[in-house]
Chains A and B, each alone.
Chain A
Amino acid sequence: MARTFFPFENLTPSPASFSLLPFRFTRLNGKELIVNEAGEFLIAPNGTVQQLADQRLDTGSELYRDLKAKQIVFDEASSPLLDQLATKIRSKFDQINGGTKLHIFVVTLRCEHSCHYCQVSRQTTSRGQYDMSTGTADRAIELMMESPSKEITLELQGGEPLLAFDTIQYIVPRAKEAAKANGKHLSIVVTSNLACVTDEILTYFRDEGVKASTSLDGPAFLHNKNRPRPGNNSYEKAIEGIERARAILGYQNVAALMTTTAASLGHVKEIIDEYVRREFHSVFLRPISPYGFAIKTKQSTGYEMDRFLDFYKEGLAHILEINRKGYRLSETYTKIVLTKILTPHGTGYVDLQSPAGEALNVLVYNYNGDVFASDESRMLAEMNDLTFRLGNVHRDSRRSIFLSEPALKMFQVACTQSLAGCSDCAFQAYCGADPVYHHATQGDMYGHRPTSGFCKRNMEVIRHLFSLIQENDPETMRILWSWIAGQTEKREPSLCA
């Protein structure tokens, strides 16, 4: 039986009309950025959105084909493939799956540093009232195990956690045992200034598979200015600690984070160069924490955020240049945002999620058993603001923590999809909600977007990255992709639980 071939016009004629799938848009350097519900975007000529709203676009044009392939429009010539779009949307929410993954245990508030941006440490080094008791640790571990996630990260924090090394030695084996009994995969990391680290402590960490994360704010003058301690040698101690930790734990198990302060602004290149000098391959240009400054001085964060954005852009340009010269160095915030823009995946980064990552993705167990929605929530408590204290390990279960009044209040304002200023924002898929930040800086969990430092920072960073995407310089894109692809793995579409 001979078969005939059908010409294009017979098989799939151009449809007379088309329908819209949900999308948001903004104007970007003379063009229109159109983003669908799964975060896929198209940079289209000016006037496209008007034509879409009027449903008046040539269905035979290349632009129409682009819009259809990106699931911004659909027509009767083929299926809208809604299930596939829904799957893509679902993938972006993957981090919700399994609940809280990051569990921060504040083992002590004691610390010998008095860093300007820290609100929580206590100067006394004697044990007792500011240390986590074994009873509290036991209960915190039980609560941690109630989280459905198969992958759990336990972060040991403080103050300076190494000052309560015996408490750590109590917690680590019990946490590992509990994880095994509950069929969970547990990672442990300790965040320490490394000033009082010993080989004994490091050997213990190596044997137990604990990783270390420390602070390196930049070159000596800056680091020491931010982080005073007796002897004013925080930098020297940090470097020494990093070297020793790398030697014993292995290079890849020692990470460094910087905190940006007013003093840091204007020195971004020096900070980055310090990271290169110390052979780190990633740096995180974190914004100035608003919790210290804004609360104490009640200053508007507008000016500071502008200066931070300059800091960030200059820093990113410098980092790209370093990469071009052959040294592999990624910027973590850029990597996170680009993952959201350019890949089908979501990210687990707590501060940039919708619904917000507080409680849903991180819980903080304070030395006294109080449970907080995030580290910043704990800092607020130190200043007598208990808005985000969700409960106490000795009184509560995971269920009662999540049904507590503070939690429910927070969840109501945790989704950008329903917040003023966010609900129709083109960058919604790439951004997140942060009720704690808005409560701390504006006195309102809901947040006022036009004056929000969080909003300003994210919008500007996202715009800046889209400029790079539009420029499409092959070498720049190759560098950026090497940061992104290093972290994302191929995944199956979610088989629902």
Chain B
Amino acid sequence: MEAPDSASSEASPKIAVKVDLSVTGTESLMKACYWFSVDFVCEIHKTEETKAEVVLRPRKPASPAELASRREDFISSVLDFALRERIEAKTASIRDLLMAKALSEAGILEDEPQGVFGDAVEESKTDGMFKILGNA
């Protein structure tokens, strides 16, 4: 994301952030705006295929210092939500599996025991108690 000037040339103060959508995605912008909507009116303008500008207008008067600080918070928030998107994408299917296991009956969705058994005597039997592999 670029770091443009936070001072506005218009009469009403606002926060403006230019974002690279290939870095942030749109979900993270929406989520950050969701939380900031308490204190700001949020507008997202798509400027190019992969670029957008987010404008946050404070609902109550705010000093430039406050706005600068909140701007940083906003950027932080967007980046954190973008991180969450990435993590969600990587873990969605295993999460579904986990929840299915958690909420299903015993034994139905459970994994087989893994690993080697490791008893040499049992290993040498043709009809041993367990399937055995050696410890390499």
Contact = CB atoms under 8 A, between A and B. Distances in A.
Q: Is A–B contact present in the complex under a CB 8 A cutoff? A: yes
Interface of A: 1, 6, 11, 19-27, 37, 49-50, 52-53, 79, 82-83, 85-87, 89-90, 93, 420-421, 424, 449-451, 495-497
Contact of A89 (B81, B87, B98): B98
Nearest to A425: B84
A46 to B, nearest CB: 12
Given A1-B120, A50-B83, A450-B35, A89 B102 contact: yes
A86 B99 CA distance: 7
A37 B106 contact: no
A495 B106 contact: yes
Interface stretch (B8-16, B44-52, B64-72, B107-115): B107-115
Query: Interface SS of chain B: helix, strand, loop or mixed?
Result: helix
Given A87-B102, A496-B105, A424 B111 contact: no
A399 B39 CA distance: 44
Nearest to B108: A496
B26 interface: no
Contact of B98 (A19, A24, A82, A424): A82
Given A6-B135, A25-B80, 6 more contacts: A11-B135, A21-B91, A21-B94, A82-B101, A82-B111, A93-B103
B133 to A, nearest CB: 14
A451 B105 CA distance: 39
Interface of B: 31, 34-38, 76, 80-81, 83-84, 86-88, 90-91, 94-95, 97-99, 101-106, 110-111, 114-115, 120, 135
B34 A53 contact: no
A497 B107 CA distance: 12
B25 to A, nearest CB: 13
B106 A421 contact: no
Contacts, number: 80
Given A22-B98, A450-B38, A496-B105, A79 B115 contact: yes
Contacts of B37: 450
Contacts of B99: 37, 86, 89
Query: Interface SS of chain A: helix, strand, loop or mixed?
Result: mixed
A424 B86 CA distance: 12
A83 B34 contact: no
Given A22-B95, A82-B97, A86-B101, A496 B83 contact: no
A53 B38 contact: no
B38 A20 contact: no
A93 to B, nearest CB: 7
Given A22-B91, A83-B110, A495-B106, A27 B98 contact: no
Contacts of B34: 420-421, 449-450
Contacts of B38: 450-451
Shortest beta-carbon contacts, A-B, top 6: A86-B101, A496-B106, A89-B102, A22-B95, A22-B91, A86-B102
Nearest to B27: A424
Nearest to B111: A83
Contact of B95 (A1, A37, A450, A451): A37
A25 B98 CA distance: 19
A89 B94 CA distance: 14
Contacts of B98: 21-22, 37, 82, 85-86, 89
A20 B90 contact: yes
* Residue from B81, B87, B97, B104 having most chain A Cβ neighbours under 10 A: B87
A2 B103 CA distance: 47
Contacts of A6: 135
A424 B31 CA distance: 10
Contact of B114 (A50, A79, A89, A93): A79
Contacts of A495: 106
Contact of B87 (A20, A93, A421, A497): A20
Contacts of A420: 34
A392 to B, nearest CB: 32
Contacts of A497: 105
Given A22-B98, A79-B115, A27 B35 contact: no
Nearest to B82: A53
